[in-house]
Amino acid sequence: MGFCMTDDRVEEILIHNDELKKGIEKAASWIDKNYFGKEPVLIGLLKGCIPFYGHLITLIKIDFTTDFMVVSSYKGTNKSSGKPEIVTDIYTDISDKDVILIEDIVDGGYTIKYVKEYLSKKNPKSVKVITLLDKKEGRKVEFEPDYKCFDVADKFLVGFGLDYQEKCRNLPHICVMKKIK
């Protein structure tokens, strides 16, 4: 069960940690299969990606390099502003490289669409997106991730990296947050 249910901010556990790990194993296999003979750059979108990224890289068998970006889109609320901002850019020269963006959740789609377009201007060979969660009902712009581990309903989620006002990232499961009164 884990300690989420003793957290009074949590309504229910949506995806248990064991299930998350199984989903992440499949994502690693997808990378091994699709990037065999290549050396992709795995760019994590901080900070939500941390547990997903951390688990994923220990399961990938092919060689790859790592980098990160800090992109803010929420500004401490539970509604996306729709205007992402690149707070910290990558260090890697990605020209002619295969890039895989690692995201925690695609909701409205603004953040990932913006980052993908931004990185595409740096002349990579390819840019693909892997997301742990896809909240398709929340979509405001047209965007389809290349790989998703789980589809989720349009509810506000916390845990396994996802935050509410920077808290709850440490919960081991993906949980539905209680409605804020």
The answer to whether 74 contacts ligand IMP (rule: CB under 6 A) is yes
17's contact among ligand IMP, Mg ion, none, with CB below 5 to 8 A by partner kind, is none
The answer to whether 145 contacts Mg ion (rule: CB under 5 A) is no
Among positions 89-128, residues that touch Mg ion (CB under 5 A) are 104
Please state the closest distance from residue 5 (CB atom) to ligand IMP, in A: 18
State yes or no: is 107 an active-site residue.
yes
Q: With contact defined as beta carbons under 8 Å apart, do 38 and 13 qualify?
A: no
Q: With contact defined as beta carbons under 8 Å apart, do 2 and 21 qualify?
A: no
Question: Judged by CB under 6 A, which of 44, 109, 124, 159 binds ligand IMP?
Answer: 109
CA distance 60 to 56: 7
In sequence order, what are the beta bridge partners of 105? 133
Q: How many residues in total does the chain contain?
A: 181
Stretch that binds ligand IMP, among 16-24, 31-39, 86-94, 107-115 (CB under 6 A): 107-115
Q: Residue 126 corresponds to which tokens in the numbers above? A: 């390819």
CA distance 138 to 149: 17
The answer to whether 44 contacts Mg ion (rule: CB under 5 A) is no
Please state the closest distance from residue 106 (CB atom) to Mg ion, in A: 9
* Phi, psi values for residue 120, rounded to 5°: -60, -25
Residues designated as active site = 107
